[in-house]
Chains A and B, each alone.
Chain A
Amino acid sequence: MKKSSLIVAAVLIGVFVLGLANVATAAKKKGPKGVDLYKEYCKPCHEADSDNGEYTPMTMIQDQWERFFDKEFVDSHSAVLDPNHDNKPVTEAISEEDLEKIKAFAIDHAADSEQPMTCG
């Protein structure tokens, strides 16, 4: 690799990292909750009637979400590009920390979580 392109790459990476850091601090200040992260990173591709399948936390039980995040997510999403996040692969668009929060949210609200009902 030529020196100049190395520099370009370094600058790009720097910008990218800084950008990420900015997003992260901005996010921390607002304290993004699992529900908001889900809305930003998952919902756009999985709304009702979506070709990718409709997914909300209530679509699956806790064990299934556990299995999905631990075993399936990378396989099924690393080749899927996310148009809402610079066409990056879904797996790269979301930070590990945020993914943990999304996972916790999905499990807390899974189809088999205990919820009271109200009549309207």
Chain B
Amino acid sequence: MTRRIISMLSLLALVALPAAAGKTYSHQEYFEHYEGTSTCLTCHEDEAETFFHSQHYQWTGETPAIVNADGKLLGKKNTINDFCTNPVPAWIGITKNSRGEVLSQGCSKCHAGLGKMPSAEMSREQLENIDCLICHASGYNRTLVENEDGGLEWKPILWKNQEGLDSVSKRITMPKRTSCLRCHSGSGGGPNYKRGDIEYALADTDREFDVHMGTDGGDMACMDCHAGTSHRMRGRGVDLMGSDSPDRLRCGDGACHETAPHAKELLNRHAVRVDCTVCHIPAFAKEDATDMIRDWSTPDYIEEKDKHLATITMGANVEPEIAWYNGTVWAQLPGVPVRTDDEGAIAMVVPQGDRNDANAKLHAFKVHRGMMPVADESHWLLPINVEEFFADGNMDGAVREAAHVVYGIEDFEYGWMPVKRYMGIFHEVQPADNALRCLDCHGPDGRLDWANLGYEADPLAAALTPSH
């Protein structure tokens, strides 16, 4: 009997061997060979349809939080930002430098599709274009491949190694931090360039760095906060245009933390007008520096990479800027004249709300600045085919090419204008001991610009001054 159990056990061990690190996955039995998304569709057509309609696939979505959107569906696909501007002109392609090294592969690199542009109409072809594995298979990586007909397609890097591909494509799980970070930590052109508070370090870190995701802290997955249902994410943040769900994702609305979570009454009183993140995220870009200023008007040639770039000013351990925010923003949309703020900068994304707005709280922001091209007559914000520019350094050509694709315009003059975008800081919450102290806000060099925020003076000073 014992011998039989032992031999059965060793048999089991043998069977389990092919799985990575001895782990077993339910999908090892669900199919034999992975032949692309169609393999998943045989059982998951419904999930593919819900994913098709998501912001992650469409790159456009509903805009309840954009005050000037007029009900339009917006997203990365049909707006222009101050990082890589707009993805359509450089959707897919292999851009090489003069030495023949690959500089970039198109903006579809961060689309959860296999290379086709998402369309509004659902079809079999579109469903098969969804890349399920990029979120659901750990250890999956992909590369851009030129097919025999010259067309380009994102394929698993193991596409010529069926044994390896079968192993990886069966490692199906709910998304892990690494699955989400592979896109979100590298956006904007480099590690942590764009967000500042979504660094690859979050894949494996401690609670000192992030109490929620640290492996010795909450060890939470991104999904634990962000998963909705039917492939709709919760939590648009501040500066994304479309959103999967109309509700805000908040720390202290009772779902995770109470609105008054502290034993100290004074701190709870603060939490009425000061968002939790302001005190609990003292700094961002703690491991990788983040892009604070991107000046496209001053090209920079990086000799070692033989690559042309914007002039980028990086920041590390950045203190967030503080402003009022009520959950809605005004956004600079394409095809309408640009609007400038009192600094003369185009207000790309402006959080709405002020001290008198009961729905507004003070929030923490990364304020991204830059220089962008603007057409002389129409005063429209212009896109840039950044990938073309990476290779040849011809900015004028890159602006004209992209403007042609996005607006269909040809003969125009343009100039350069400063831009400013408010981006919310929500990640990298530190242990309570590191929370801001009274003097970080109320001291002489405090973070808050009281006058600009609508206060006659520092309210602590006012509370301490005897009234007459």
Q: What residues make up the interface of A, taking CB atoms closer than 8 Å to B?
A: 58-64, 111-120
B167: nearest chain-A partner, CB-CB: A61
Asked if B109 and A62 make an inter-chain contact with CB atoms under 8 angstroms apart, the answer reads no
Choose one: B103, B158, B193; the contact of A111 (CB below 8 Å): B158
List B residues 141-184 near A (Cβ within 8 Å): 141, 157-158, 160-161, 163-164, 167-168, 178, 181-183
* Residue B228 at the chain A interface, CB threshold 8 Å: no
Asked if B157 and A58 make an inter-chain contact with CB atoms under 8 angstroms apart, the answer reads yes
A64 touching B183 in the complex, CB below 8 Å, given contacts A111-B158, A120-B103, A120-B390:
no
A119 touching B188 in the complex, CB below 8 Å, given contacts A61-B158, A63-B20, A114-B203:
yes
Choose one: B104, B105, B141; the contact of A58 (CB below 8 Å): B141
Nearest 9 A-B pairs (CB), nearest first? Answer: A120-B104, A112-B139, A118-B186, A61-B164, A114-B178, A116-B186, A116-B200, A111-B158, A117-B186
Give CA–CA (A69, B109) in the complex, Å. 33
Asked if B191 and A115 make an inter-chain contact with CB atoms under 8 angstroms apart, the answer reads no
Asked if A119 and B167 make an inter-chain contact with CB atoms under 8 angstroms apart, the answer reads no
- List the A side residues contacting B386 at CB < 8 Å: 120
- List the B side residues contacting A59 at CB < 8 Å: 160-161
Q: Can you pick out 8 interface pairs between chain A and chain B where the beta carbons lie within 8 Å of each other?
A: A61-B158, A111-B139, A111-B141, A112-B158, A116-B200, A117-B183, A119-B189, A120-B104
- List the A side residues contacting B167 at CB < 8 Å: 61, 63, 112
- List the A side residues contacting B390 at CB < 8 Å: 120
- List the A side residues contacting B18 at CB < 8 Å: 63
Asked if B189 and A112 make an inter-chain contact with CB atoms under 8 angstroms apart, the answer reads no
Asked if A119 and B104 make an inter-chain contact with CB atoms under 8 angstroms apart, the answer reads yes
Asked if A116 and B164 make an inter-chain contact with CB atoms under 8 angstroms apart, the answer reads no
Asked if A116 and B191 make an inter-chain contact with CB atoms under 8 angstroms apart, the answer reads yes
A118 touching B161 in the complex, CB below 8 Å, given contacts A112-B168, A113-B139:
no
* Residue B138 at the chain A interface, CB threshold 8 Å: yes
- List the A side residues contacting B416 at CB < 8 Å: none
* Residue B140 at the chain A interface, CB threshold 8 Å: yes
A60 touching B164 in the complex, CB below 8 Å, given contacts A113-B139, A119-B84, A120-B390:
yes
* Residue B197 at the chain A interface, CB threshold 8 Å: no
Asked if A112 and B110 make an inter-chain contact with CB atoms under 8 angstroms apart, the answer reads no
- List the B side residues contacting A114 at CB < 8 Å: 138-139, 178, 182, 203
* Residue B190 at the chain A interface, CB threshold 8 Å: yes
Most chain B beta-carbon contacts within 10 A, residue among A62, A64, A116: A116
Choose one: B103, B104, B161, B178; the contact of A60 (CB below 8 Å): B161
B307: nearest chain-A partner, CB-CB: A120
Asked if A64 and B109 make an inter-chain contact with CB atoms under 8 angstroms apart, the answer reads no
List B residues 12-45 near A (Cβ within 8 Å): 18, 20
B185: nearest chain-A partner, CB-CB: A116
Asked if B109 and A119 make an inter-chain contact with CB atoms under 8 angstroms apart, the answer reads yes
Asked if A117 and B109 make an inter-chain contact with CB atoms under 8 angstroms apart, the answer reads yes
Most chain A beta-carbon contacts within 10 A, residue among B84, B104, B139, B181: B139
- List the B side residues contacting A116 at CB < 8 Å: 181-182, 185-186, 191, 200
* Residue B187 at the chain A interface, CB threshold 8 Å: yes
Give CA–CA (A118, B95) in the complex, Å. 14
A118: nearest chain-B partner, CB-CB: B186
Smallest CB separation, A104 vs chain B (Å): 16
Asked if A64 and B164 make an inter-chain contact with CB atoms under 8 angstroms apart, the answer reads yes
Asked if B387 and A120 make an inter-chain contact with CB atoms under 8 angstroms apart, the answer reads yes
Kindly list 18 other residue pairs between chains A and B, CB separation below 8 angstroms, not including A112-B138, A112-B167, A120-B104: A60-B158, A60-B161, A61-B161, A61-B164, A63-B18, A112-B164, A113-B139, A113-B141, A115-B141, A115-B182, A116-B181, A116-B185, A117-B110, A117-B182, A119-B84, A119-B107, A119-B110, A120-B387
Asked if B163 and A112 make an inter-chain contact with CB atoms under 8 angstroms apart, the answer reads no
A111 touching B189 in the complex, CB below 8 Å, given contacts A62-B20, A63-B20, A120-B105:
no
Give CA–CA (A111, B164) in the complex, Å. 8
Most chain B beta-carbon contacts within 10 A, residue among A64, A111, A115: A111
B160: nearest chain-A partner, CB-CB: A59
Smallest CB separation, B373 vs chain A (Å): 19
Give CA–CA (A11, B360) in the complex, Å. 86
A114: nearest chain-B partner, CB-CB: B178
A54: nearest chain-B partner, CB-CB: B160
- List the B side residues contacting A61 at CB < 8 Å: 20, 139, 158, 161, 164, 167-168
Give CA–CA (A59, B163) in the complex, Å. 11
Give CA–CA (A120, B190) in the complex, Å. 7
Q: Contact mask B83-122 → A, CB, 8 Å, 1/0?
A: 0100000000001000000011101011000000000000
Give CA–CA (A58, B157) in the complex, Å. 7
B184: nearest chain-A partner, CB-CB: A116
- List the A side residues contacting B103 at CB < 8 Å: 120
Smallest CB separation, A120 vs chain B (Å): 3
Smallest CB separation, B275 vs chain A (Å): 29
Smallest CB separation, B94 vs chain A (Å): 11
Choose one: A62, A111, A119; the contact of B161 (CB below 8 Å): A111
Give CA–CA (A117, B109) in the complex, Å. 8
B199: nearest chain-A partner, CB-CB: A116
